[in-house]
Structure 1
């Protein structure tokens, strides 16, 4: 198949294409803008579409261009490929574009395509390989939550213990849950300047759902217990960022806010939620219980483009960048306590809600690598260090 690649400078055209073709929410224009705000001039975003000979769109991607060790590295997060049989064609086209237009030495390609018979082999034949770091015996998977039509569709899939935890949290005296919009003042009410947050909400528009839980103090002031940020299209939602104080987790607001947000997504007619990597210990309990299936995905693949030695992407640096971003965002919302990871599966004799400080001493080496790579992908897609100067308590 002959292809052409063309940049798309029009935001409305780009976002409309993502929505109509069932692209991943992380392909929305506002996500790229947020990442540029987060990283500054060290990052460029090139939004490109791949067309066939009849000028039909067969795929598209936001190409993130960074300089690493004096070379340009291009990367995608959930690049869209309309048909699995077009996967190698789209990957080849993006590789050629990154090399010729940007002088890139390496393309890190993560498609949104499911792993079906022959797809991995097709990528291999096109010169792509899974990165050595993180490649293991198990293939990558993603949890999928089908949202159904009613709140009852969700509640019947949750355990009674989880449901009661959510109800108890929302019944706590003084606790309130608010949706934050670009026009609202929910964050200002708890002492935060909102200029950058408002800009990000405006960039994401109606495809964003930000919920904040607060608790009233004796003096009438409010403190943040946690926040949950979804980004979505009509077909799919993803958790953009979340964080909770220890007080919020003790009350059960982590589960309650997630369930509240999923119910709101139902009202917006969103069909599915991308629940993340099931191997990650910090996947919320509500997501694990609601997820009916694990979708086999292709994950990240790499191809050297021949301009300079490809080298190895630094997972340590990416992990550190992700940690800095998460810490900054949490601090701005008054949530600077690190969130402990829940053990999964729960250890014998331990309750599901038991929390272990830090990253978990029992985590395997492979899990630590997978965790670092997942954090890397979140940094690429989430970019919420744009909030870094938004706090003013």
Structure 2
């Protein structure tokens, strides 16, 4: 198949294409803009579409271009390929474009295509290999939460203990859950800083859902307990960023806010939630309980483009930028020292992995933790949840 690659400079056209074709939220224009905000001048984004000889779009990608020491490395995250059989054609076209237009020495390629018969062999046939950090006996997988039609569909999949934890958290006196939008003054009215948050909300637009939980003290002051940020298309949502104080986790707001958000995604007619790598310790309990399946995915691949050694600098740069931005968001929400899910301070003894429950699986995702959890996708009117505490 002959192909042609063309850049897309129009935001409305790009996002409309992502929504109509069922692309991953990682492909939304605002996600790329937010990543540039995180990394600064060290990152450029080139949004390109791949067409066949009849000018039909067969795939598209936000191509992330990072440079150091005059070397450019290109990368995609969940780029869209319409049909599995077009996977090697799209990958090869993006590689040629990255080399010829940007002088890239390496393409790190990740598509939203499921792993089916022949897909890995097709990538290998055009020169792609699995990165050394991804090698191992375990094949890449992703958790998937099918949202269903009603809140009852979700609650029936949760354990009674988890449901009770959520209900108790939302009914705690003084606890309030709010949706925050770019034009909202909800946080400003509680004394929380919103400069960076407002910028990210403007970047992400209507495809974002940011929920913040606060607690009113007896003295009348209001403090943040945690936040959960989804980015979504009509078909798929991902957890973009999240953070909770120790007090918030003790109350169960981490589970409660996630369940509240998923219910709101149902109202927006979102069909499923990308739950992330099942081997990641940071995957929330609610996601694990709601996930009915683990999807076999292709995972990351790479192809040297023949202009000298690429090095391994870009992953560290990207992860550090995402982590710094996530910390800045937490600080602006009043969460100066959020406790990450799965951290030693938060984990109870019974939370330790048990033999036969993934404890012996290789920690493939450790180096990708920030990228997958904060971009997710490191990662938006619609009815606001002004006060979910009384539900």
TM-score by length of 1: 0.89
Paired positions, count: 373
Q: What are the equivalent positions in structure 2 for 1:1-393 lying under 5 Å apart?
A: 1-313=1-313, 315-316=315-316, 318-342=318-342, 350-352=349-351, 366-367=362-363, 369-378=364-373
Moved more, 333-342 or 62-71: 333-342
CA contact (8 A) 1:34 1:383 kept: no
- 1-side partners of 2:263 and 2:373: how far apart? 24
Gaps of 5+ in 2: 380-391
The CA deviation string for residues 337-379 of structure 1, in whole angstroms up to 9 with x for no partner, is 3425449xxx9x9444x89xxxxxx987941x52222323456
CA contact (8 A) 2:196 2:329 kept: no
CA contact (8 A) 2:213 2:226 kept: yes
Shift of 1:221: 1.3
Residues 1:319 and 1:20: Cα distance change in structure 2 (over 3 Å): closer
- 2-side partners of 1:378 and 1:166: how far apart? 22
CA contact (8 A) 1:128 1:302 kept: yes
Gaps of 5+ in 1: 356-361, 385-393
Map of 2:383 onto structure 1: none
CA contact (8 A) 1:154 1:290 kept: yes
- 2-side partners of 1:134 and 1:246: how far apart? 33
Shift of 1:310: 2.6
- 2-side partners of 1:316 and 1:73: how far apart? 13
- 2-side partners of 1:380 and 1:310: how far apart? 23
SS in 1 for 2:243: strand
- 1-side partners of 2:79 and 2:103: how far apart? 20
- 2-side partners of 1:350 and 1:383: how far apart? 29
- 1-side partners of 2:263 and 2:338: how far apart? 27
- 1-side partners of 2:194 and 2:235: how far apart? 29
SS in 2 for 1:273: strand
Shift of 1:40: 1.3
The CA deviation string for residues 275-303 of structure 1, in whole angstroms up to 9 with x for no partner, is 01000011000000000000111111010
Moved more, 191-200 or 150-159: 191-200
- 2-side partners of 1:240 and 1:130: how far apart? 25
Moved more, 212-221 or 92-101: 212-221
- 2-side partners of 1:158 and 1:381: how far apart? 23
CA contact (8 A) 2:226 2:244 kept: yes
Residues 1:314 and 1:194: Cα distance change in structure 2 (over 3 Å): closer
- 1-side partners of 2:377 and 2:75: how far apart? 14
SS in 2 for 1:133: helix
Question: Cα RMSD over matched residues?
Answer: 2.4
TM-score by length of 2: 0.90
CA contact (8 A) 1:38 1:383 kept: no
CA contact (8 A) 1:37 1:383 kept: no
CA contact (8 A) 1:5 1:97 kept: yes
CA contact (8 A) 2:372 2:378 kept: no
The CA deviation string for residues 175-223 of structure 1, in whole angstroms up to 9 with x for no partner, is 0000001111122123233344223223322211000000001221110
CA contact (8 A) 2:241 2:375 kept: no
